[in-house]
Amino acid sequence: MSNFSKIRNSARLSIAPMMDWTDRHCRYFHRTFSKSILLYTEMVTSPALVQGNATYLLEFDKSENPLALQLGGSDPTELARAAVIGASLGYDEINLNVGCPSDRVQSGIFGAILMKTPEIVANCCKEMIDAVDIEVTVKCRIGVDQQDPNETLPKFLECISKVGVTRVIIHARKAILSGLSPKQNRNVPPLNYELVYKMKEQFPNLHISLNGGIQSLNQAQLHLENGIDGIMIGRAAYQKPGEVLLDVNRLIYNLPNRQVSEKEIVKQMIPYIENQYKNGNKVSKITRHMLGLFSGRPGAKVWRKVLSENAHSSGPEIVLQALSEVE
């Protein structure tokens, strides 16, 4: 199987890029659930990489692959240079953020505001596609502000398709750029899955992943069975990873792998936590991503309590202590 095909297969389920959440420790943790899931970095701006030389933001463990680098920016030349940096470091995909609605992102002229200028997005994508051998993808909304998504989304997809974009992740909710906070933009306006399905019918050669509001693997399965190519899960996978991800190999990738348990996931994390601790990282930087592991299970409360109160000033042994409390 070619690397291109492997990424397409992995994209059946991906975990959304989330600022301040999906750092390298979070991604390593999520990787323990499956070798197949496609993981994404937090958004990294092209100015930070090209002008600020902040390549430390791109550090990752090779076990995190398949891994996509999400870039934010609107300067084609600068994005191309940032994409080259990412590709040279071993990322499997470069993704352009055309979905974030925050004021800070808007002021930098990137994120969801770019839905208003599909030609700029297309130019950025073309420069990146020409610059790297790995796939360049786009994560977008169905529209912004007063746009009619039924009109603007197909035009947007047609525009980026013409320059060679063949895979896109669509957050099935319009972004309201003025008057709503990023948090509010996660809940209103309502999701429009039907429109994303229509786009798959209209652009059959475009690999489309659906993002927004998906809370379980069963929901993901249903969308995949109905013709969507991939599913991207965000906060649900972060806040209740055990509940959402434990059976991903069987349900999404049709693998015969034995389903692991939450306790096995913890034990798989111990060597990584010990190594990071030896290198000067606080245990809490890793365990903050693991607090929801036992969500909905007996012992979830004591697991969170032990780690929340002690991990910032303890060594790796605190994780085993918390696990013993669960047991």
* The total number of residues written for the chain in this structure: 327
Burial of 88 (0-12, 13-18, 19+ CB in 10 A): exposed
CA atoms within 13 A on the CB side of 21: 17
Pairing of strands 13-15, 135-141: unpaired
Exposed e or buried b for every residue in 180-203, given b needs 16+ CB within 10 A? eebeebbeeeebbbebbbebbeeb
Q: Choosing from 100, 124, 140, 159, which is the catalytic residue?
A: 100
Q: Which helix (H) or strand (E) holds 222?
A: helix 217-225
Cα distances from 270 to residues 6, 41, 90, 100, 247, in angstroms, run 28, 22, 25, 34, 21
What is the token pair recorded at 276? 């990071």
What is the token pair recorded at 55? 């390549």
Residue 159 annotated among the catalytic residues of the structure: no
Is there a contact between 208 and 199 (Cβ–Cβ < 8 Å)? yes
Q: Which one, of 85, 254, 92, lies nearest residue 167 by Cα? A: 92
Count of helices and strands (H, E) across the chain: 16, 9
Main-chain dihedrals φ then ψ at residue 126, nearest 5 degrees: -60, -45
Exposed e or buried b for every residue in 2-34, given b needs 16+ CB within 10 A? eeeeebbbbbbbbbbbbeebbbbbbbbbbbbbb
Question: Strand, coil or helix: what is 140?
Answer: strand
CA atoms of 67 and 38, how far apart (whole Å)? 6
Residues annotated catalytic, as ranges: 100
